[in-house]
Amino acid sequence: MSEMTYAQAARLGLKEEMDRDPTVWALGEDLGFEGGMAGQYKDLQAEFGTDRIVDTPISEATIMGAAIGGALAGTRPIAEMRFSDFAMCAVDELVNQAAKARYMFGGQARVPMVARMPIGIRGGIAAQHSQSPEAWYTHVPGLVVVTPATPADNRGLLKAAIRCDDPVVYMEHKGLWGASGEVDEGDVEPLPLGVARTVCKGDDLTIVTWAAMVGVAESAAMTLRAMGISVEVIDLRTLWPWDKDAVFHSVRKTGRLLVVHEAVQIGGFGGEISAEVSEHLFEHLKGPVKRMGGARIPIPFSIPLEEAYMISAEQVAEKARSFF
Amino acid sequence: MAQDQANEPARIFDMFRKMLLIRAFEEAAGENFFAGNVRGSVHQYIGEEAIAVGICANLRDDDLLTSYHRGHGHSIAKGADPRAMMLELFGRVGGTSGGKGGSMHIADFSVGMLGANGVIADGCTISVGAAQAIKLLKQDKIIVNFIGDGGINRGPFMEALNWAKVYELPVLFVCENNQIAATTTTKTVTAGDGIAARAESYGIPAVTIDGNDLLLVDRTAAKLISEIRGGGGPRLMQAMTYRLRGHFAHDKALYRAEGEAEAALEHEPVRRAEAWLLEQGISESEITNAKEEAEARIAQYVEDAHNAPWPDLKAAFTDVQDVGAPVPGAGQ
Ligand SMILES: Cc1ncc(C[n+]2csc(CCOP(=O)(O)OP(=O)(O)O)c2C)c(N)n1
């Protein structure tokens, strides 16, 4: 086991996959010298060359389109978009091309690419650099959506995304780049996609969450435990497909479900989870499923306003107490 | 420094004062970023001031302007209130956008400054639409779209050039070519003969000038703007310059060759304008006074920003939309 950050772990996973498979390559802005916004590509260009870590012009549509072309032509590209906000310059390529090619072409085509687009609030970068649009992509048939929450997961899930034959929208959370955790370097296997992680076990309430809200929910669970409420926290890890079995299993046990996400609550993926659980586990529920998400406002710049948008462990604990 | 009889030293001195104000603003923005008073990212315009000032000196108050992420200088040059801008950077009440936008989204619609932009090249297409509106409303305004050299490789730049020419729209595209985009030297990722050649390929007259030469920017802008206003259609100015600082305040610019930034100081626009003014008989003490005045003004605004109140939390929920506006606490 070694301690490393979320960004370092992603770099490790990428390097391992690049070592293993010579058709894996990445393209994006400022990957060579800068090594990516958080050093997640650090020194990889020096090691693998400029054909495998490709510095691109500021041309998001072509970064995404080229990744699709590279995938159709037999390689495994990673399209680095820097911010999910800039990936919006290339939604057409992702949604109309990457997600559709296999189906439209009757199975002749596969698009084994990763569209890497960090989400979330990092502090003070306002409306066009802080969004969490993960729910958009869960709505698009053909796409896989991954949202890692820990260093170990960011290594294992990135490896899985790279090996996946479907286009994967890979959404790291910018607020987690520096978060550190244990990574077992000896275990080089990818994590399975679509399998949740139970963060802590509990009997009274299930909290389902992902990305940066995992840590928040975990600390809320600790507070609640001290108050005699036993909470099970589930980190979904993958939003499409999502681990319905794990969630259903937990809710059957606890009878209560709270879904927490940083993304805007309205139209968020919490709605889908809530609907599925309400529809299929109604008789197991001791009360209505509840959701917590962001207000339906752009992310404001000013500190107190940004804080007003964010969900704290105290708020999660308070919401959890409202079940009892 | 190019000379021109028409350039009254007094007029240039006024422009020089604006440059000093921008410089002082940017220095203060950087210092306060490091002090933790300004959050997020701060892209300083230090070393590029002559472009915004030289161009905006030839604009009318009702002319429009769109900018990119490096937008403080454009705003001040267009007449935005630097005090309100500083309050904005601090995220306070009284900021140009009430603290909701910050540095990267600095805007002052009261002076036609339609916003800096966090998304590269998006200002290009917005400018085309604004120019369509100017045409529709039968106004004789123009719009200036500032863009960095890295931005010209996004599709919207090319699409905007084409469209502006097809409809002969009143747009002045200004590419501030500081030769680098974040950590990437632009020419390593840009094919062809450069920015001006791209405009010319669409039939848009384009000029390339030394953007650190205030008088030259002024004179070139005067010509281009009068051609555009006279119905001549779009123009492009490529203003060569150098970003004296990192991409943003926290970038140490280690990708630069040693001594490069120091060498560039010799060509930087404030020194050059100052030298010209001295030649014209402006005294050392007048220059010193102007510098001290700019610094004192900005220092006052920083103090004001420190003392300004934080926005009320209710402000987070205002100005989202009219129909279906968010209700605090509802749906959560
Ligand atoms: C669409 C988009 N892609 C990427 C970025 C990230 N980014 C911000 S500034 C920058 C470099 C811009 O360089 P340039 O246009 O030359 O302007 P300069 O910063 O040199 O003034 C990049 C890549 C962005 N803001 N928007």
CB B256: neighbour CB atoms within 10 A?
15
Regarding whether A140 and A15 lie in a shared domain, the answer is yes
Q: How far is the CA of A58 from the centre of ligand 1 (A)?
A: 7
Spatial contact of A25 and A76, defined as CB atoms under 8 Å apart: yes
* Residue A95 per-residue DSSP state: I
Distance CA A171, CA A203 (A): 30
Q: Whose CA is nearest to atom 22 of ligand 1?
A: B182
Q: How far is the CA of B69 from the centre of ligand 1 (A)?
A: 7
CB B137: neighbour CB atoms within 10 A?
8
Domain contains A53? yes
pLDDT band at B5 (very low <50, low <70, confident <90, very high): low
pLDDT digits (tens, 9 = 90+) for A61-118: 999 999 999 999 999 999 999 999 999 999 999 999 999 999 999 999 999 999 999 9
pLDDT digits (tens, 9 = 90+) for A270-322: 999 999 999 999 999 999 999 999 999 999 999 999 999 999 999 999 999 99
Regarding whether A311 and A202 lie in a shared domain, the answer is yes
Q: How far is the CA of B53 from the centre of ligand 1 (A)?
A: 22
Is A103 an interface residue toward B (CB < 8 Å)? no
Domain contains A145? yes
Domain boundary residue, one of A183, A210, A240: A183
Domain contains A190? no
Domain contains A277? yes
State which residues form the domain around A235. 197-321
Q: Report residue A99 CA to chain centroid gap.
A: 18
* pLDDT score of B7 more than 80: no
Q: What six digits make up the tokens of B276?
A: 């010209």
Q: What percent of chain A has pLDDT over 70?
A: 100
Spatial contact of A236 and A199, defined as CB atoms under 8 Å apart: no
Q: Cβ B332–A293 below 8 Å, yes or no?
A: yes
Which residue has 């950087």 as its token pair? B30
Distance CA A181, CA A151 (A): 6
Q: What six digits make up the tokens of B214?
A: 């205030």
Residue A44 distance to chain B (closest CA, Å): 16
Regarding whether A257 and A315 lie in a shared domain, the answer is yes
Q: What six digits make up the tokens of A113?
A: 């690419």
Regarding whether A202 and A176 lie in a shared domain, the answer is no
Regarding whether A241 and A152 lie in a shared domain, the answer is no
Domain contains A189? no
Distance CA A307, CA A218 (A): 19
Instruction: Tell me how far CA of residue B12 lies from CA of B49, B113, B178, B212, in angstroms.
Output: 13, 22, 23, 14
Instruction: Tell me how far CA of residue B319 lies from CA of B117, B315, B325, in angstroms.
Output: 18, 8, 8
Is A305 an interface residue toward B (CB < 8 Å)? yes
Q: Whose CA is nearest to atom 13 of ligand 1?
A: B181
Q: Which atom of ligand 1 is nearest to the CA of B152?
A: 15
Domain contains A188? no
Domain contains A80? yes
pLDDT digits (tens, 9 = 90+) for B203-245: 999 999 999 999 999 999 999 999 999 999 999 999 999 999 9
User: What pLDDT sits at residue B64?
Assistant: 98
Is A92 an interface residue toward B (CB < 8 Å)? no
pLDDT digits (tens, 9 = 90+) for B239-287: 999 999 999 998 999 999 999 999 999 999 999 999 999 999 999 999 9
User: What pLDDT sits at residue B327?
Assistant: 86
ipTM reported for the complex, 2 dp: 0.91
Q: What six digits make up the tokens of B30?
A: 């950087």
CB A50: neighbour CB atoms within 10 A?
11
Domain contains A124? yes
Length of chain B, please? 332
A-B contacts at Cβ under 8 angstroms: 130
Total domain count for chain A? 2
pLDDT digits (tens, 9 = 90+) for B72-93: 999 999 999 999 999 999 999 9
CB B259: neighbour CB atoms within 10 A?
8
User: What pLDDT sits at residue B328?
Assistant: 84
Instruction: Tell me how far CA of residue A151 lies from CA of A173, A245, A311, B123, in angstroms.
Output: 11, 24, 22, 37
User: What pLDDT sits at residue B332?
Assistant: 53
| Closest partner CB to B184 (pick from A30, A60, A301) | A30
What residues does A231 pair with on adjacent strands?
A205
User: In degrees rounded to 5, what are phi and psi of residue B280?
Assistant: -80, 0
Distance CA A220, CA A214 (A): 10
Regarding whether A303 and A231 lie in a shared domain, the answer is yes
Mean pLDDT, rounded, of chain B = 96
Regarding whether A18 and A157 lie in a shared domain, the answer is yes
Regarding whether A102 and A124 lie in a shared domain, the answer is yes
Residue range A29-44: mean pLDDT, rounded: 97
User: What pLDDT sits at residue B96?
Assistant: 98
Q: What residue spans of chain B are helical by DSSP H? A: 9-34, 49-56, 72-78, 82-89, 122-136, 155-166, 195-201, 214-227, 260-264, 269-279, 284-307
Q: How far is the CA of B159 from the centre of ligand 1 (A)?
A: 18
B264-300 CB burial, b ≥16 within 10 A, e <16: beeebbbebbbebbeeeebeeeebeebbeebbebbee
Amino acid letter, B207: V
User: Domain limits of chain B?
Assistant: 3-183+194-250+267-306
Which residues of chain A make contact with B153, given a CB cutoff of 8 A?
Answer: 57-59
Q: Judge residue A282's burial from the number of C-beta atoms within 10 Å of its C-beta, 0-12 exposed, 13-18 middle, 19 or more buried.
A: exposed
Q: What percent of chain A has pLDDT over 90?
A: 100
**CATH number of the domain where residue A143 is located:** 3.40.50.970
Regarding whether A282 and A202 lie in a shared domain, the answer is yes
Regarding whether A131 and A19 lie in a shared domain, the answer is yes
SS3 of B313, please? helix
SS3 of A214, please? helix
User: What pLDDT sits at residue B329?
Assistant: 75
pLDDT digits (tens, 9 = 90+) for B30-41: 999 999 999 999
* pLDDT score of A15 more than 80: yes
Pocket of ligand 1 (CB under 6 A): A 29, 58, 60, 82, 86, 89; B 69-70, 118-120, 148-151, 178, 180-182, 243, 247
B245: left (phi over 0), alpha (psi -120 to 50) or beta: beta
pLDDT digits (tens, 9 = 90+) for A134-172: 999 999 999 999 999 999 999 999 999 999 999 999 999
pLDDT digits (tens, 9 = 90+) for A201-256: 999 999 999 999 999 999 999 999 999 999 999 999 999 999 999 999 999 999 99
* pLDDT score of B330 more than 90: no
Regarding whether A135 and A81 lie in a shared domain, the answer is yes
Residue range A3-26: mean pLDDT, rounded: 98
User: What pLDDT sits at residue B192?
Assistant: 96
User: What pLDDT sits at residue B6?
Assistant: 61
SS3 of B294, please? helix
User: What is the CATH superfamily name and number for domain B3-183+194-250+267-306?
Assistant: Thiamin diphosphate (ThDP)-binding fold, Pyr/PP domains (3.40.50.970)
Task: Please say if A129 is a catalytic residue.
Answer: yes
Q: What six digits make up the tokens of B222?
A: 């005067």
Spatial contact of A277 and A303, defined as CB atoms under 8 Å apart: no
